[in-house]
Amino acid sequence: MVVGIVAKNGILLLDADERFRAFGLSQQNAMIEAGRRRLRPIAMTALATIAGMMPLALGVGSGSQMLQPRAIVVIGGLISSLAFSLVFTPTVHYFLGSRSPTAAQADGVCLRI
C-alpha cells in the first residue's frame, strides 16, 4: 500500500518536472516548481490515508487488534514517504538527470500553471 502511494507520488512529481522543462525552465527551477506544485496533493494523500488508518492503529472496534500492527506500519511509512517523495526523489533525479545548455539560459523564468 505504501509502495504504491510513494510510486504514484514520484511519478507525478517527475512528470510535473518534465512538463516544466518542456516550458523552458532549467533543471533546477523545474524541479523546484514541480515540488511546489505537487506538495499539496502529496500531503493530502498521505494525511487522508493516515486519518483512515488511525482508528485501526488505536485499536478501536472489535477485531482491530489483528490489523493494528499493519496500520501502524502504514502510518509510519506514509510519514517517512513524505520526506522521501519531496526531498530524496528530486535530489536523486537532479544529480542523475541530464543538463541541457538551452534550459540553463532560462534560469530566471518562473512559470505558474
Residue 104 predicted with pLDDT over 50? no
* Residue boundaries of the structural domains of the chain: 2-104
Question: What average pLDDT score do residues 1-27 get?
Answer: 90
pLDDT tens readout for residues 62-93: 777 888 999 999 999 999 988 888 888 888 88
Kindly report the pTM of this predicted structure. 0.73
CB 22 within 8 A of CB 99: no
Give domain 2-104's CATH architecture. Answer: Up-down Bundle (1.20)
User: What is the predicted pLDDT for the residue at 15?
Assistant: 92
C-alpha cell read off for 7: 510510486
Contact indicator for 23, 58 with CB cutoff of 8 Å: no
Q: Is 85:6 a contact under the CB 8 Å cutoff?
A: yes
Cβ-based neighbours of 69, under 8 Å, separated by 6 or more:
none
Across the chain, mean pLDDT equals 84
